[in-house]
Amino acid sequence: MQRIGLFVGSCFVAFGQDVFLAKQESPPRPHKFSWKLHEESSEQHSLGYKVTKSTYISDPMPLAPGEMVFTKIHDTIITMPEGKYAITNVSGGVSDAQGNDVPLSTVYNHHWILRPLKKKPHFNRFCNGQINYIFGVGAESRDRPADLAPGYGYIVEDGEVWGANLHLLHTEDLAGPAKECNECWYGPNKGPKCSVAKNGTFDCCGDGGCAAGQCKCTTVHGYKKTTNYYLKYNIYWTSEVDKITGIDAGVIAAPNCQSEHNVMRNNHQTETVSSATWIEKDGIKLVKAVGHLHTGGINISLYVNDNFVCTSKAIHGTQVGVVGNEYDHLVDISPCFDAQGSNVLMINKGDKVRVDSIYYVGDDDDRISPGSGGTHLGVMSYMNMFYVDDIAHADTAKCQNKVSSSGCELQGGDSCIACAKAHRNQLTKAGCTVSMVSSMCEPS
């Protein structure tokens, strides 16, 4: 049986799953979504297990020109397969009423990220609990799904609940450059927390409590028509988890684990480098690494002990308004590392892992339209890492069990933090760190 969910008023009513969030009385958020199974098909994998492709689609999402969507993971519960299963591939995008993919020049997919919330709250080991997600999709996701190597998958326990952070921008009929809308530049009516000091941050992209239709980029005067769009995502999965090697996921973000950063115009030194370094504490087997960059990005590379491993190269579109090849946008990014069979990359205890990203900051960027080069605000420089951890996060699992057994509700926000503080001594003895507890308690 598939999960089915409906929004009644401001509450999510679900059937076939235990929505542990129902106890909380969070303030209403700007955009609410419900999802339905659109279509499903299965085929036998060459390694002997059945893979099912489940496509889910949202209810209509009416957007006015310039309107921004920014949801919180805790409030945006998505529909996923039932039971225990392993995810082998994820992709997503935006479609119109006819089911056609919508070009980035119409609705820009800044990012949407997915993570489990109930059974196994995620802890990103590479950034000490920051930037927590398992699967992330952005402008490149139509051409670059999160396809894991054969025989590998992310194993999901029965009863798990997943949330999504969605960040979309309707960039039709803008009065100014699409760049300034997509990159969260300061402007009027872009959010109650948007100010000159918050230029380039999510506060100028709809975060911070915008009511639906309230916050938007400046558009052509008097143009108020809304258009219905639909969010669509594909989950490839198998219930034959005994034939799958389970993986975990994490992100190394440059510079220094910042979720977003700015790269500033420089016509004398047109390439700017941002870096982040991680010292591996236990040892992992890397199965897949792929970068995530924004428009203006050149590449992002992975090094181990200062030895070059691989590079993900940014690919920009060349045709105006053509789905998958949109001019003025990053449309794809090449894979960095992909294991084939047992050909994993060993990263041993004590190894130094470094990520370097490069953005072009000259005005003369011939990959994008004149006037769109130079400074880029609110960009991301992520290396998504999918790996096998034979230690299986013993410390994190022990801490999670102790947080739960202490009566603190995972992902309970402030109440969970307060509960953890009341049990500080017990949690410290269990090996919990502040970042671990914060990751398990914070709702988004």
Taking the CB of residue 242, how many other CB atoms lie within 10 A of it? 7
Percentage of residues in the chain having pLDDT higher than 90: 55
pTM of the predicted model as reported, rounded to 2 decimal places: 0.82
Round the average pLDDT of the chain to a whole number and report it. Answer: 85
Pairwise pLDDT comparison (129 vs 186), residue with the higher score: 186
Q: Please tell me whether residues 60 and 186 are part of one structural domain.
A: yes
Q: Cα 386 from chain centroid?
A: 14
Q: Please tell me whether residues 401 and 415 are part of one structural domain.
A: yes
Q: Please tell me whether residues 420 and 440 are part of one structural domain.
A: yes
Q: Please tell me whether residues 190 and 324 are part of one structural domain.
A: no
Pairwise pLDDT comparison (173 vs 405), residue with the higher score: 173
* Arithmetic mean of pLDDT, 431-439: 74
Contact partners, residue 309, CB within 8 Å, separation at least 6: 289, 301, 302, 303, 336, 337, 345
Most confident of 80-94, 138-152, 336-350, 398-412: 80-94
Residue 411 · residue 400 · CB < 8 Å: no
| pLDDT for 318 beyond 90 | yes
According to the model, what pLDDT value does residue 182 have? 94
Q: Please tell me whether residues 20 and 105 are part of one structural domain.
A: yes
Q: Please tell me whether residues 206 and 313 are part of one structural domain.
A: no
Amino acid at 223: Y
Comparing C-alpha atoms, which of 395, 70, 91 is closest to residue 216?
Answer: 70
* Arithmetic mean of pLDDT, 410-414: 76
Q: Please tell me whether residues 88 and 191 are part of one structural domain.
A: yes
> Where is the domain boundary, 207, 224, 244?
244
Residue 21 · residue 101 · CB < 8 Å: no
pLDDT band of residue 397 (cuts 50, 70, 90) is low
According to the model, what pLDDT value does residue 87 have? 96
Pairwise pLDDT comparison (40 vs 144), residue with the higher score: 40
Q: Please tell me whether residues 73 and 211 are part of one structural domain.
A: yes
Amino acid at 68: M
Tell me the pLDDT tens digit for each residue of 330-367.
999 999 999 876 688 999 999 999 999 999 999 999 99
List the CATH number of the domain containing 328.
Answer: 2.60.120.230
Contact partners, residue 421, CB within 8 Å, separation at least 6: none
pLDDT band of residue 50 (cuts 50, 70, 90) is very high
Q: Please tell me whether residues 222 and 262 are part of one structural domain.
A: no
Domain that holds residue 46: 4-244
Ranges 108-122, 201-215, 254-268: which has the least confidence? 201-215
| pLDDT for 2 beyond 80 | no
pLDDT band of residue 130 (cuts 50, 70, 90) is confident
> Where is the domain boundary, 191, 226, 244?
244
Pairwise pLDDT comparison (388 vs 14), residue with the higher score: 388
According to the model, what pLDDT value does residue 132 have? 87
CA dihedral sign, ordered 77, 81, 85, 87: negative
According to the model, what pLDDT value does residue 14 have? 32
> Where is the domain boundary, 183, 218, 244?
244
Contact partners, residue 422, CB within 8 Å, separation at least 6: none
User: What is the number of structural domains in the chain?
Assistant: 3
Q: Please tell me whether residues 234 and 368 are part of one structural domain.
A: no
Residue 233 · residue 138 · CB < 8 Å: no
CA dihedral sign, ordered 332, 30, 251, 284: negative
Q: Please tell me whether residues 232 and 90 are part of one structural domain.
A: yes
pLDDT band of residue 168 (cuts 50, 70, 90) is very high
* Arithmetic mean of pLDDT, 280-290: 92
Q: Please tell me whether residues 311 and 416 are part of one structural domain.
A: no
**Alpha-carbon distance values, 339 to 144, 272, 336, 368 (Å):** 16, 30, 10, 33
* 434-441 vs 414-422: helix crossing angle, rounded to 10: 140
